[in-house]
Chain A
Amino acid sequence: QQQVKQSPQSLIVQKGGIPIINCAYENTAFDYFPWYQQFPGKGPALLIAIRPDVSEKKEGRFTISFNKSAKQFSLHIMDSQPGDSATYFCAANRAGANNLFFGTGTRLTVIP
């Protein structure tokens, strides 16, 4: 059973566009929601993370929007660049837990 559902599976945008990746979860005990970026042949690297006490968090060109009542969160990449082409994973875990539950990933391609 997939604890975190992620969509779309793949996304192609033009340079400067704003790709949006969506995730949904069921477990209301989750209280930490990170996004990871993974390039081919590399391990995932933390991009940005949010807790459910805020509805939005922005770091540079990356923004997480969080809707606690809908149990959904999304990643927006402003002014996307070809260097942002990678696979993005949302994840979640609950307080006191030691493992992250990952989504299935979104392969983003930014066309120059």
Chain B
Amino acid sequence: DTGVSQNPRHKITKRGQNVTFRCDPISEHNRLYWYRQTLGQGPEFLTYFQNEAQLEKSRLLSDRFSAERPKGSFSTLEIQRTEQGDSAMYLCASSLSVANTEAFFGQGTRLTVV
């Protein structure tokens, strides 16, 4: 499978716990994005990597959120001290380094904080 892969697909956690999600982009794509999608809404941008460098972060990305892409390949998104408001689908996308090129999305990780 050469698409964007995200793990796990579903995560249920208790409020206050830390969670980590993984994204494996399409191998030749050097751009990687994280988005969050809540029920009935479109995806909202969280952060963007060019290779291993995190170049942009949305105001939605609070201090409890951290993302890494250590070798410019896979990426992780960690949420510390989860809150019920963090419940959402977390989507990863990747693309080539060409302006306005297609971003390919993974199937997402659905997080439920109870």
Q: Which A positions have Cβ atoms within 8 angstroms of B?
A: 4, 6, 31-32, 34, 36, 41-46, 49, 51, 89, 91, 93, 95-96, 98-105
Contacts and interface: CB of A to CB of B under 8 A. Distances in A.
Interface in B15-62: 31, 33, 40-45, 48, 55-56, 58
Given A43-B106, A105-B40, A105-B42, A93 B100 contact: yes
B24 to A, nearest CB: 13
B103 interface: yes
22 contacts: A4-B42, A32-B100, A34-B102, A36-B105, A43-B4, A43-B93, A43-B107, A44-B91, A45-B104, A46-B104, A51-B100, A91-B42, A93-B100, A96-B99, A98-B31, A98-B33, A98-B55, A99-B58, A100-B45, A102-B42, A103-B42, A104-B41
Contacts, number: 58
Nearest to B92: A43
A36 B91 CA distance: 14
Interface hub of A4, A95, A98, A104 (most chain B Cβ within 10 A): A98
A46 B100 contact: no
Interface string B86-108: 00000101000001101111111
Contact of A44 (B31, B48, B105): B105
B45 A99 contact: yes
Contacts of B102: 34, 46, 49
A31 B100 contact: yes
